[in-house]
């Protein structure tokens, strides 16, 4: 049974939420959904043309609720992340949400034969960039009275599975980053940190991972948005440091 959540249409009013991988898939749908509930959304992605298309879609329905910032995590250096943070500090008093959605899938190969460049690229995008972006944005998130960080996880980042290579290892790293950060900020800030495994979802990454699968057998990104909305809501303020799953998700007291 899917999780249902009825959110007030202005629940995210005056909130600023940054979403990585916002040009497609779950990231794109998160951006559109959060804007529909009042948030100003900052869209990060490597493809400027796709980001501009998402910008146009949101701007048409929610004028003034979206900005874009093209950034390729594979080539980004620390000064690129610092420039982004400085730009956000100039535009907003605080940052209320950070959704880490961008990731590479990489080769599906035994560790013994795993391509070296794929390994380096995966770790750069899926781990190093996530760490650096989080690090530079923590001061802005700390200014919010009720900020959220959601790290996108995977079932293969919680129980290892053969042939998932760098992708699985990178998601294990993300779980460790989430746990470490959650304990550090728990008693000193209003930031709440969790990881979320969306499960099989009808996205391009899922298609690439399972090319023989009928995409219609998987839920759409839109159908899992109630979980994301709930985790951004006041009701979820006590959820912290947890490895969550969309499948079987339940509201917590």
Catalytic, out of 5, 37, 114, 167: 167
Q: Is the Cβ–Cβ distance between 36 and 12 less than 8 Å?
A: no
Catalytic site residue 167? yes
CA distance 19 to 32: 10
CA distance 46 to 69: 9
Neighbours of 153 (CB within 10 A): 22
Residue with tokens 């907003």: 92
CA distance 244 to 252: 11
Encoded tokens for 178? 């989430």
Encoded tokens for 49? 């043309």
Nearest-CA neighbor of 103 among 177, 54, 167? 167
* Kind and range of the H or E run holding 198: none
Encoded tokens for 221? 């990104």
CA distance 137 to 139: 6
Give catalytic residues, as residue numbers. Answer: 167
């Amino acid at each position: 049974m899917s999780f249902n959540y009825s959110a007030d249409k202005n629940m995210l009013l005056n909130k600023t939420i940054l979403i990585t991988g916002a040009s497609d898939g779950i990231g794109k749908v998160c951006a559109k959904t959060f804007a529909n509930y009042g948030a100003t959304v900052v869209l990060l992605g490597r493809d400027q043309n796709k980001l501009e298309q998402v910008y146009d879609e949101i701007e048409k329905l929610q004028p003034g609720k979206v900005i874009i910032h093209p950034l390729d995590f594979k080539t980004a250096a620390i000064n690129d992340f610092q420039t982004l943070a400085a730009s956000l500090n100039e535009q907003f008093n605080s940052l209320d949400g950070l959704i880490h959605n961008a990731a590479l899938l990489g080769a599906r190969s035994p560790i013994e034969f795993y391509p070296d460049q794929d390994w380096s690229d995966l770790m750069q995008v899926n781990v190093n960039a996530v760490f650096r972006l989080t690090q530079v944005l923590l001061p802005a998130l700390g200014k919010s009275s009720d900020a959220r960080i959601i790290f996108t996880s995977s079932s293969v980042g919680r129980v290892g599975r053969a042939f998932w290579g760098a992708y699985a290892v990178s998601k294990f790293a993300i779980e460790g980053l989430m746990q470490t950060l959650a304990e550090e900020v728990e008693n000193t800030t209003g930031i709440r940190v969790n990881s979320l495994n969306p499960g099989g979802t009808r996205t391009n990454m899922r298609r690439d991972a399972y090319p023989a699968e009928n995409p219609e057998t998987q839920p759409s990104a839109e159908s899992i948005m109630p979980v994301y909305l709930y985790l951004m809501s006041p009701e979820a303020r006590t959820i912290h440091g947890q490895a969550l799953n969309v499948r079987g998700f339940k509201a917590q007291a």
